Amino acid sequence: MIGLPSLAQFDRAAPVRIWLAAHPADMRCGFDRLADLAGRVTDQDPTSGHLFLFRSRGGDRLKALYWDKDGYALWYKRLEVGVFRFPRIPGDAASVELRASELAMLLDGIDLRSVRRLPRYAKKK
């Protein structure tokens, strides 16, 4: 019998980490300014291959910056209706790490502030 993969399996399958900047960014920023911002707010190397997400002040635009082997790639989405519903971010955090499943929900219009994870068993290391 073939079982369906869990969200946790999807999340662990991708070695790429996803970082969301806590504060809105100027959507006029291009590759270099976003790369600089990514490094400052996440303490990660922007050329690491990780995905760095930046939101607009109004919440209807989202930019994703990543390093693609030989240069930066930039993905930009503007919603025609509505806004993205980002997760709650602690007041002092400059960024938060998202799971791949959380990014998929965010892009699909699910309010991440209302999503709550139930406790699960985790083997102690």
The torsion region of residue 69 among left (phi > 0), alpha (psi -120 to 50) and beta comes to left
Out of 21-30, 95-104, 108-117, least confident range: 108-117
Three-state secondary-structure class, residue 7 = helix
- Per-residue confidence band for 22, with pLDDT thresholds at 50, 70 and 90: very high
Residue 20's beta-bridge partner residues? 53, 96
Q: Determine the average pLDDT of the residues in 48-59.
A: 95
pLDDT of 46 reads 95
Instruction: Check whether 12 has a pLDDT greater than 70.
Output: no
Q: How many CB atoms are located within 10 Å of the residue 76 CB? A: 11
Burial class (CB in 10 A: 0-12, 13-18, 19+), 85: middle
Q: Determine the average pLDDT of the residues in 91-95.
A: 91
